[in-house]
Amino acid sequence: MTDEPAAGSARGSLSREKVLRAAVDMADAAGGDVPSTRRLAERLGVRAMALYHHFKNKDELLDGMVDLVFAEVELPEQGEPWREGMRRRAGSMRAALGRHPWAVSLMDSRVNAGLATLRHHDAVLGCLRADGFSVAGAAHAISLLDSYVYGFAIQEAALPFDAAGGDDMAALTEGIMAQAQGMFPHLVEIAVEHALKPGYAYGDEFAIGLDLILDGMERRRADW
């Protein structure tokens, strides 16, 4: 098979960045499926073999895609208090995973991490270490925070309603209430007294849970 580009495209017009951006866009549009080499090549207007000038294999492509996602996440600033840095980073990570839901299952699975990925983790650990966390404590902290952020992102993406609230949330809750009446009083209670209150949005739970975790880290960090 020739590695010359198809449809009159110039192989030289391809770049590593262009291939990665196209792969990320396709994964986003597909709702989670990482594109095959064949489909990615079709999107770029080249033959599949042309991609191997930039990526040796599918794993190398995935490494680059994950690295692009990590590059979107805000890093703690040098000298920033750890709570502010971790809170801002967690919110930014949640937003990035909302844009790229396919990435959550790949974030920590890469053997050959890219520079943005390594820079990200080094900055997070550096913020914690600079503000009094021991080496072990920083490791505990980042594991706990990532478990929460990744888990919330997965749950949020799977919800059958908009996490920002709205009519679909109200309709779902009312449907549950219709089945729960007389049988499941606590479900009815939480629907009436909480979920159906004006302005309720499930997404607001993220900040509440994050503050609980940060409070616990503050209390325990001297013992870690």
For the chain, the structural domain boundaries read 14-55, 59-159+205-221, 162-200
Give the per-residue pLDDT at 3. Answer: 39
User: Do 119 and 75 contact (CB within 8 A), yes or no?
Assistant: yes
Rounded distance between C-alpha atoms, residue 142 and residue 127, angstroms: 11
Q: Is it the case that residue 6 has pLDDT exceeding 60?
A: no
Average pLDDT over residues 134-158: 95
Mean pLDDT along residues 145-153: 97
Sequential DSSP letters for 130-162: HTT--HHHHHHHHHHHHHHHHHHHHHHHH-SS-
Helix extents (H) in the chain: 16-29, 37-44, 48-51, 58-72, 82-99, 115-130, 135-158, 167-180, 185-190, 205-220
Lowest mean pLDDT among 45-49, 94-98, 125-129, 210-214: 45-49
pLDDT: which is higher, 193 or 171: 193
Structure-token pair, residue 86: 């971790």
CA 39/CA 36 separation, integer angstroms: 5
Q: Calculate mean pLDDT across residues 55-66.
A: 92
What CATH number labels 59-159+205-221?
Answer: 1.10.357.10
Instruction: Give, as one character, the DSSP assignment of residue 193.
Output: I
**Among 32, 159, 39, 37, CA closest to 103:** 32
Q: What is the pLDDT of residues 70-105, one digit of tens each?
A: 999 999 998 999 999 999 999 999 999 999 999 998
The pLDDT value recorded for residue 168 is 67
Q: Is the pLDDT of residue 167 over 60?
A: yes
| pLDDT value of position 128 | 97
Q: Over range 138-153, report the average pLDDT.
A: 97
What dihedral angle (degrees, nearest 10) is formed by the CA atoms of 76, 78, 79, 82? 20
**176-196 tens-digit pLDDT:** 777 777 788 888 888 878 877
Answer for the pair 77, 39: CB distance below 8 angstroms, yes or no.
Answer: no
Mean pLDDT score across all residues of the chain: 87
At the second CATH level, the architecture of 14-55 is: Orthogonal Bundle (1.10)
Q: pTM of this prediction?
A: 0.83
What's the pLDDT tens digit per position in 105-129?
Answer: 898 888 899 999 999 999 999 999 9
Q: Do 135 and 143 touch, CB atoms closer than 8 A?
A: no
Burial of 44 (0-12, 13-18, 19+ CB in 10 A): buried
Does residue 8 have a pLDDT over 60? no
